Structure formats: structure tokens, C-alpha cells
Amino acid sequence: MEITKICCIGAGYVGGPTMAVIAQKCPHIQVTVVDLNEERIAAWNDPNTDNIPIYEPGLSEIVATARGRNLFFSTAVDQAIDEAQIIFISVNTPTKTYGKGKGMAADLKYIELCARQIARVAKDNKIVVEKSTLPVRTAEAIKSILDHTGNGVQFQILSNPEFLAEGTAVTDLLQPDRILIGGDTTPEGKKAMEALVQVYSNWVPTDKILTTNVWSSELSKLTANAFLAQRISSVNAMSELCEKTGADINEVAKAIGMDSRIGPKFLKASVGFGGSCFQKDILNLVYIAKSYGLHEVADYWEQVIIMNDHQKRRFSNGIVQTLYNTVSDKKITFLGWAFKKDTNDTRESAAIFVADDLINEHAKIAVYDPKVSSKKILEDLNYLATRSPEHNQDSVTSYRDPYEACQDAHAIAILTEWDEFIHYDWQKIFDAMQKPAFIFDGRNVLDAAQLRAIGFVYQGIGS
């Protein structure tokens, strides 16, 4: 089957960048990204590609190259579904906030709505690709909906999980470690998998394209994120022990990272992991294990989340204790709000939870982040629903200039590892702050010796 038209439902952090790269690398394929959010689609279509809704290094250039040629962003969902041979589902799958599985299971209502819409619109055979992170055996549910349309259309369901790290998503798409495609082992399933293999093989070496059964593909995504998050929680657990014993976590991490069996990646001690996937996927894994009665397995993975939550609370408690056990009416400046550098994604960012703790202690929070808007910062705090929106608005001020954000601050907390922070005039910042001037480096990115020489009271993680 020669693929000439692809549709992606969902213009978010996965769908937008993935489809942009497919369009750039496959100029013979028409790629249409659809979303019911008119504001988001309008932003993707902004003539100035620097204004697209997702910040990823290199993404705006790729969009500029392909958009209008064979890459299109639209709210005409039905038309795109009708015309496409392959339909990617890349909608949000948040953790449930209600009912059975609340706080752990994935909320699949958007996935089901997509399946029902595809079933209603499709007039010819389609390949439907799960791109969202989903619990094992979700494909079975999608297939059940699609196979009972009664209109004779045949559907093949594939699992094609993304393995993108925000901040390096474009590089991850252009030079992936692997492409994973899961499908049925029937002749029709194998044919569908081969069609998707041919799309990716336009730029990905075929030895990096792995085909499996659909269940293995779905579980591989959850497992990959669980393993990565586990490494972060492990090194953060050791960071607390380092602080008690006089060891330095940076030295410990370097030493163990030189072991070829372990390697150096994801051993950076910090205030904790965030992002859209790690916590959600581990909770999903915990829920699946519990549903099968595997309580020891569930407890093991749940501890990764418990450690991460502990690290965030420990950081905020440390700020309060160091500032003489009160932050009431004290200005605490947050440098960084995004969950990591080189992205404007704030989902599950440690900054949100640290700010929430400090606002409950009546602190005044000043925030500077080069890519996150003041509107988004307030939305994040309001989503926690621990206080009224009015209280949050009175307690948080967003700045577009980092030096202004630090003016008269009692303390600075580094919550995102933006490269620009290293190059600031820290003497100028010190002179503008209340004394003693504290820095709480939640990402261990600054030069502790340099800052202490200036006069800062500096505290990193695990040292």
C-alpha cells in the first residue's frame, strides 16, 4: 500500500512535532494535523512560525519548511479522517480524577471519542495508529469500537508509542534510538505494520524500526518511562543521604555513571522529575499491576512516585527552614517554571508544587521563565485547586526580566536548568537582594564556589 495521506488527531506536544517531521521527510505524503481547539490551530498556522504553540529547538524551522506544502493544520476533523489512509490518535490521556482508578488509571475518554468519530466518518479501510501513551490492551477497546460500525469498513490498529524527550524532541524524531510499531500478527496486521514502516524508512534505518505484537508495544512505552524515572528517584534518594553524611551527590553520580553497566544518563540529582509522561505512566503501570493482583509489583513502582513527591516537599521545606522557619511575606524568586529546559511544557513541573507549598506559608512568589507565560503559571496553580484563583493571583508575579524578578528577593530558587542562568551577572543580583541572600539550586546548575565567594548562602541538592 502506498501511503499518500496521513491525518493526526491532536495538535499537542506529540502530534504537532511528529507530524511536522514526517511531512518534512516525506514530501510525497500529505500530512494534516487536526484539533478542535481553534486557538491552538490558529497558533500553528501563524505566519510567524516563532509563535507556534510548542517551543522545541528546531521545530519552527521544520514547520516553516513543510507548512503549506504538504503539512496542514485544521479544525476540519471529519474531512481529514475521511481522506486519510493512516490516522494517528495523539490526544491527551490524563490520569483519572474521578471514579474507579482515580489518581492512577489513564482517562481514556478522549481516545474513545476519537475512535467513535473515526467509526462514524470512515467510508473505506483505515490504519489507526495509537500515538498517545496508553495502558496495555487499549488497542483492543479501540478495535472493538471500530469493528462494530456496521458499515463494512475494515480497520487495522497499530501501536506506535513516542519516545521523545521534551527539549530534544526534534533530534529524537530525526535520529531516533528506535521506532516501535506493534500490530496484529494476521496477514492484514502485518501489511498495516509494513505500510507504517515504509513511512518511517524515508529517513530512519530499517534496523532501527522494531515490529512487535501490539501488547508488547504498549507495555514497552510504560516500561521505558518507568525505568528512566526510577533512575531519577534513585539518585534523589541518595542525595538526601549525601546531605546527612557529607558526601557529594555530584561526585557519587559521576563515579557510578562511569560504570559501563550503569552509564551517566538520568543520574542528575534535582528537585524531582516532571513532564507529561513519567508520573502518569508509572501510575498507569501501578494501576495495571494492581488490577492483576500483582501488589508487590505495584508497590515497587509506586515507590518511585513517592520518592519524587518527597523530594519536592523536602526542597520547599528546606527553603522555609533555612529562612528562619518563616517565609511569610518574603519574596522568593523562581528562576524557571517549565519542567525542564528548552521547552514551554509545565505539566507536573516541580515548580508548581514548590510554589504551592510556599504560598501556603504566605510567601510572595516572583517567577521568571524565558518561555512560560504568566497566564500559564496561574493556570497551573489554579489547577491544583488548593486555594482560590484570587489568592494565587495576589501571591504570584511573573516577570519578563530576570534581574527585575530578583530585585529585593529574600531567596532565589532554581527550578529549571535553563542555560542562560549560568551566564547571569550574579554580583548584580546579589547587590539587589535582601541580605542574607539565599540561593536554593534545585537543579545543581550553578557554580557554588563562585556564588559563595560573592556572598550568597548557597544550597544545592545532595551536597
Q: Which residues are annotated as catalytic?
A: 162, 221, 277
Q: Among the residues of 246-349, which ranges form H helices?
A: 249-257, 278-291, 295-322
d(CA 312, CA 354): 6
Q: Which residues contact 274 (CB under 8 A, 6 or more apart)?
A: 339, 340, 346, 347, 348, 349, 350
Candidates 108, 87, 112; CA nearest to 98 is 108
Q: Which residue has the cell 518511562?
A: 225
How far is CA 377 from its chain centroid? 16
The CA distance from 357 to 440, in Å, is 15
The conformation of residue 243, written as its DSSP 8-state character, comes to H
Which H helix or E strand runs over 227? Answer: helix 214-245
Q: Residue 6 belongs to what H/E stretch?
A: strand 5-9
Q: Within a 10 A sphere around the Cβ of 321, how many other Cβ atoms?
A: 11
Give the whole-angstrom CA distance, residue 110 versus residue 115.
9
Residues with Cβ < 8 Å from 50, sequence gap 6 or more? 60
* Helix then strand then coil, % of the chain, to nearest 5: 45, 15, 40
Backbone angles phi, psi at 130, to 5 degrees: -75, 115
- What is the distance between the alpha carbons of residues 59 and 23, in angstroms, rounded to a whole number? 12
Q: How far apart are CA 211 and CA 197, in angstroms?
A: 9
214-245 helix and 138-147 helix, angle to the nearest 10 degrees: 150
